[in-house]
Amino acid sequence: MHTLNVALGERSYPIHIGRGLLDRVRLILPHLKTPRVAIVTNDVVGPLYLGKLRDALEAQGIRVCQVVLPDGEAHKDWSTLNLVFDMLLEQRCERSTTLIALGGGVVGDMGGFAAACYQRGMPFVQIPTTLLSQVDSSVGGKTAINHPRGKNMIGAFYQPRLVLADTDVLSTLPPRELTAGLAEVIKYGLIRDPGFFEWLESNIERVLMREPEALAFAIERSCANKAEVVAADETEQGERALLNLGHTFGHAIETGLGYGEWLHGEAIAAGTMMAAELSRRLGWLADADIARIESLFIRAGLPTVGPVLGVERYLELMSHDKKVEAGRLRLVLLKAIGAAVVHGDAPQTDIAAAIEARCR
């Protein structure tokens, strides 16, 4: 097991990464306030892992209740979130009960938001079960649901007390979902870790083959990057915005298509190519850089062009981005592979041309 720390003063927490961690529920016990937990999962992950987690917790004398949500990004909404509150109230959960999110980023984002809201905040533990959630969404405390007009529009910053990433559960993850997670892995190399980008260029096939060593390294290095950024800027006043590379464009794709047709990671890959193309037009990236980024995404199995929504529609959707300030779009762009910046002065014509160039 490899352990990292998210350094946030008295709200610091460990990220445990390793094989067989679902069998080691003792790791969770020190983080519970009382011997009561409420597990939030979904109807895909539940049948695979809920019984195991529940039995193991009960064997330790923990009282467990649960809610099994419908699967999918399309259900990351108010009505599904309410199912969590219904269960917490029906089961008479208290403010001291710990909510455990067992699932991918959708379950983690919704479980975390429910934990932030229920009785104004209950302890929260993340057990991420997708590559994307193990490398990104379980760490850092961004929680949210979607609105038909915009992605993650209603949410809160609310940190977990523990992240427990059992890499064995990735064995049941469909290949398309593994690939989607790689978009966020590649993101860390692009925004701040050029050595990791080079490692991915040499090892992406090993990760795709789920070679345990390569997978563990990719997850650990990703989490180390994310933990550093979050510790430096928990609520995205500055540096944390870099974690949004490709997301202003990518969220427009997800919202424009109505959530779920494109996976988050797929939309982020296409959105990152739009951001890279804009960076090239601003004279920051060379053609050779674009070719390297595109080649890595293609080898990972990710899309490098977005759907044709119409440039005007992209721009309208992007205008709801959370980084917009005084009506001005602020985009994460690349000065080089491994060096990102937030830029608020890109000419509208260049933004439009970058979208156009990267749509099919």
Ligand X SMILES: O=C(O)C(=O)C[C@@H](O)[C@H](O)[C@H](O)COP(=O)(O)O
Residue ranges in contact with ligand NAD by CB under 6 A: 42, 44-45, 48, 71, 73, 76, 103-107, 109, 129-130, 132-133, 136-137, 140, 142, 152, 169, 172-173, 177, 180, 184, 264-265
Residue 142 interacts with ligand X (CB under 6 A): yes or no: yes
* CA dist., res. 99 & res. 114, Å (int): 9
* CA dist., res. 60 & res. 351, Å (int): 56
CA distances, 90 to each of 77, 83, 122 (Å): 20, 10, 16
* CA dist., res. 130 & res. 222, Å (int): 14
Residue 136 interacts with ligand X (CB under 6 A): yes or no: yes
Pairing verdict, β 124-128 and 2-6: unpaired
**Is residue 322 annotated as involved in ligand binding?**
no
- Is 325 in the active site? no
**Is residue 142 annotated as involved in ligand binding?**
yes
Tell the smallest beta-carbon distance from residue 329 to ligand NAD (Å): 20
Tell the smallest beta-carbon distance from residue 42 to ligand X (Å): 18
**How is residue 282 written in tokens?**
């601003």
Residue 184 interacts with ligand X (CB under 6 A): yes or no: yes
- Is 147 in the active site? no
Query: Which does residue 133 touch among ligand NAD, ligand X, none (CB within 5 to 8 A, set by kind)?
Result: ligand NAD
Tell the smallest beta-carbon distance from residue 123 to ligand X (Å): 20
Query: Which does residue 71 touch among ligand NAD, ligand X, none (CB within 5 to 8 A, set by kind)?
Result: ligand NAD
Give the nearer residue to ligand X in terms of CB position, either 53 or 321: 321
* CA dist., res. 38 & res. 118, Å (int): 12
Query: Which does residue 104 touch among ligand NAD, ligand X, none (CB within 5 to 8 A, set by kind)?
Result: ligand NAD
- Is 120 in the active site? yes
Tell the smallest beta-carbon distance from residue 15 to ligand X (Å): 14
- Is 33 in the active site? no
- What pairs with residue 66 in β-bridges? 39
Residue 244 interacts with ligand X (CB under 6 A): yes or no: yes
Give the nearer residue to ligand X in terms of CB position, either 64 or 173: 173
Query: Which does residue 173 touch among ligand NAD, ligand X, none (CB within 5 to 8 A, set by kind)?
Result: ligand NAD
Q: Which one of 226, 281, 292, 358 is the catalytic residue? A: 226
Query: Which does residue 244 touch among ligand X, ligand NAD, none (CB within 5 to 8 A, set by kind)?
Result: ligand X
Cα Rg of the chain (Å, integer): 20
Given a contact cutoff of 8 angstroms between Cβ atoms, the answer to whether 125 and 99 are in contact is yes
Given a contact cutoff of 8 angstroms between Cβ atoms, the answer to whether 180 and 266 are in contact is yes
Specify the stretch interacting with ligand X by CB under 6 A; choose among 91-99, 111-119, 134-142, 284-292: 134-142
**Is residue 108 annotated as involved in ligand binding?**
yes
Contact string 314-353 vs ligand X (x = CB under 6 A): --------x-------------------------------
Query: Which does residue 111 touch among ligand X, ligand NAD, none (CB within 5 to 8 A, set by kind)?
Result: none
Given a contact cutoff of 8 angstroms between Cβ atoms, the answer to whether 34 and 47 are in contact is no
- Is 251 in the active site? yes
Q: Which residues bind ligand X (CB under 6 A)?
A: 136, 140, 142, 151-152, 184, 236, 240, 243-244, 247, 322
Residue positions annotated with a catalytic role: 120, 142, 184, 226, 236, 240, 244, 247, 251, 264
Annotated binding site for Zn(2+): 184, 247, 264
